[in-house]
């Protein structure tokens, strides 16, 4: 499946400054694996040593925070936008 | 650009400790952890502080602000009342209880404290627009502070907020964008906007200015200690939205000890949430150290953050200090607003109802020491959340102007 991935400012050094890149995969996990092969090193910024999403990173597939869905196994349908966003506090 | 952040010398990742220069950044490049101000404090004495102005700038030597901060247009919040709450204490069986009443700030919530610091950061970085994602109180604090500081304002809120909070955010000018979504969705939108050229000269007080902004909450700790006669309280109950305020009050207490301004006495920190948005309380009770986000449904909209970024730190602090995290239902929140108002003459917004409700629950279940000095926070003004007590927002009786009618009514 072809998807778009929105890249936060702090990871754009990996994507040559691009705020959005195209991705590929049936699940979020697949998309992140492909992303890391296209932009080596970016995967380790998003996932910790044990392969889990880092606790201060929020990942959305479409409008849904993946923690409300299937986490890394969340399906990534054709044309979906995936967003990677640092956790923010305040209110 | 020459930056002047007073005693702050850099930013430090709270997770991995990586150091960064001062800048409008908020997340660690290594691990996404939150960045916070790191200091090199000089000698600070009680006398220096006591000779300062009656607002948060008396603590300027402990904050990321220039030494001449008090001479610039700002809202000058802080130094709010610490109310000796004997009546409420007797009602709850607590011998020595105080209410720190932050409804006395310029826009009637504690948010004026944090925004005042963020305004200085925005000036330092040359931003032209002050912005935020907000559950309401912050929006009003930002538009007011921007007006006073001569900055543009553009703030973002969930569209369904209380009417009074919307009016307050609007009256000071600037743009108010209501988003059809939850606070967490507003927050997400702002985080994306910040990386867009449209927003790159904007100071989002709780996003790219967060390391500075968040330090404003430390002033609650400093004031409470100074108002108690330079002593730490033994127990304190603090509301949890993102959890930032609670973590910074703990940081403030520890700094006072480190600088020798108070004795190193033990204190317990208790966190308060609404049952309709209690991810931190749920994690605390389950013994977890990660916080699973929730979709909020509570009248306490200013605490309705389902994905609290500082939640894990709140758990650490509650456990480290021997405190706890507890939650109360919407009816308990309303009852607590009325209890505080009818015992102490303090009219709290729903968030204050949460905190006082949790205080009551902790007292009744014996988790608070009834002999220990206890402080409970009220962070906002009840006039902003009138709907919560709408059943009582009418006369007890409407009568003809006659003594007979009055006798019958009473």
Tens digit of pLDDT for each residue in B300-357? 999 999 989 899 999 999 999 999 999 999 999 999 999 999 999 999 999 999 999 9
Quickly list DSSP for B151-181.
Answer: -EEEEEEETT--HHHHHHHHHT-SEEEEESS
pLDDT band for position B30 (cuts 50, 70, 90): confident
Whether the Cβ atoms of residue B299 and residue B388 lie closer than 8 Å to each other? yes
Q: Any chain A CB within 8 A of the CB of B29?
A: yes
Contact B308 A89 (CB under 8 A): yes
Locate tokens 């939650």: which residue? Answer: B327
Q: Report which DSSP code applies to B381.
A: B
> pLDDT tens, B107-152?
999 999 999 999 999 999 999 999 999 989 999 999 999 999 999 9
Of A54, A67, A90, the CB nearest to B32: A54
Contact B133/A90, CB-based, under 8 Å?
yes
CB contact under 8 A, B30 and A45: yes
SS3 B200: coil
pLDDT averaged over every residue in chain B: 95
- Of A36-40, B234-238, B306-310, least confident by mean pLDDT is B306-310
- Whether residue B214 and residue A90 make contact (CB cut-off 8 A), yes or no, is yes
List, in order, residues 6 or more apart from B339 with CB less than 8 Å away: B88, B91, B356, B360
Cβ neighbours of B364 (radius 10 Å): 11
Is this structure's pTM higher than 0.90?
yes
Which residue of B16, B31, B32 is the best one to mutate when testing the A interface, meaning the one whose CB has the most A CBs within 10 A? B32
Considering only the beta carbons, identify the residue of A68, A87, A91 that sits closest to B138: A91
Report the C-alpha gap between B47 and B55 in whole angstroms.
Answer: 15
Do B97 and B154 form a contact (C-beta atoms < 8 A)? no
Report how many Cβ contacts below 8 Å link chain A to chain B.
Answer: 98
Rounded to the nearest 5 percent, the helix, strand and coil shares of chain A are: 25, 30, 45
Phi then psi for residue B199, to 5 deg, are -115, 10
User: From B196, which residue of chain A is nearest by alpha-carbon distance?
Assistant: A19
Residue contact A88–B190, C-beta within 8 A: yes
**Residue B126 CA, distance from chain mean position:** 26
Kindly provide the ipTM of the predicted complex, given to two decimals. 0.85
pLDDT of residue A89: 61
The per-residue pLDDT for B201 is 85
pLDDT tens by residue, B270-291: 999 999 999 999 999 999 988 9
Q: How far is B404 from chain A (nearest CA, A)?
A: 52
Q: How confident is the model at residue A1 (pLDDT cuts 50, 70, 90)?
A: confident
C-alpha to C-alpha distance for B397 and B409, rounded to whole angstroms? 7
Chain A contact residues (CB < 8 Å to B): 6, 8-10, 12, 19, 45, 48, 54-58, 60, 63, 65, 67-68, 83, 85-91
């Amino acid at each position: 499946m072809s998807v778009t991935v929105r890249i936060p400012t702090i990871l754009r050094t990996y994507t040559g400054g691009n705020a959005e890149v195209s991705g590929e995969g049936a699940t979020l996990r697949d998309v992140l694996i492909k992303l890391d092969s296209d932009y080596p090193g970016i995967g380790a910024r998003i996932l910790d040593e044990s392969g889990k999403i880092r606790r201060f990173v929020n990942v959305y597939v479409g409008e849904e925070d993946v923690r409300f869905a299937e986490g890394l196994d969340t399906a990534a349908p054709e044309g979906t936008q995936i967003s990677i966003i640092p956790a923010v506090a305040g209110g | 650009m020459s930056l002047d952040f007073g005693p702050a010398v850099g930013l430090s990742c709270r997770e991995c400790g990586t150091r960064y220069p001062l800048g409008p950044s908020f997340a660690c490049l290594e691990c996404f952890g939150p960045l916070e101000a790191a200091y090199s404090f000089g000698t600070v004495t009680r006398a220096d502080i006591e000779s300062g102005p009656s607002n948060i700038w008396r603590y300027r030597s402990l904050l990321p602000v220039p030494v001449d901060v008090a001479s610039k247009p700002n809202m000058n919040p802080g130094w709010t009342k610490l109310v000796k709450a004997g009546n409420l204490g007797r009602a709850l069986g607590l011998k020595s209880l105080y209410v720190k009443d932050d409804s006395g700030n310029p826009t009637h919530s504690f948010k004026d404290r944090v925004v005042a610091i963020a305004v200085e950061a925005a000036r330092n970085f040359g931003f032209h627009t002050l912005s935020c994602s907000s559950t309401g109180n912050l929006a009003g604090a930002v538009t007011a502070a921007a007006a006073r500081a001569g900055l543009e304002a553009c703030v973002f809120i969930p569209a369904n907020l209380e009417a009074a909070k919307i009016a307050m955010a609007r009256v000071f000018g600037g743009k108010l964008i209501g988003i059809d979504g939850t606070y967490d969705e507003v927050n997400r939108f702002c985080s994306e906007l910040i990386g867009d050229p449209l927003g790159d000269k904007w100071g989002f007080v709780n996003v790219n200015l967060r390391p500075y902004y968040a330090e404003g909450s430390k002033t609650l700790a400093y004031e409470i200690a100074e108002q108690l006669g330079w002593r730490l309280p033994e127990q304190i109950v603090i509301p949890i939205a993102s959890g930032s305020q609670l973590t910074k009050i703990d940081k403030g207490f520890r700094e006072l000890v480190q600088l020798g301004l108070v004795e190193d006495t033990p204190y317990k920190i208790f966190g308060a949430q609404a049952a309709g948005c209690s991810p931190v309380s749920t994690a605390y009770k389950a013994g977890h150290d990660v916080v699973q986000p929730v979709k909020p449904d509570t009248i306490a909209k200013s605490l309705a953050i389902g994905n609290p970024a500082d939640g894990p730190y709140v758990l650490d602090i509650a456990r480290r200090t021997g405190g706890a995290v507890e939650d109360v239902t919407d009816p308990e929140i309303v009852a607590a607003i009325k209890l505080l108002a009818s015992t102490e003459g303090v009219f709290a917004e729903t968030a204050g109802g949460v905190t006082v409700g949790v205080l009551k629950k902790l007292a009744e279940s014996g988790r608070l020491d009834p002999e220990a000095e206890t402080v409970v926070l009220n962070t906002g003004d009840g006039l902003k959340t009138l709907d919560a007590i709408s059943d009582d927002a009418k006369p007890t009786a409407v009568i003809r102007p006659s003594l007979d009618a009055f006798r019958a009514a009473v």
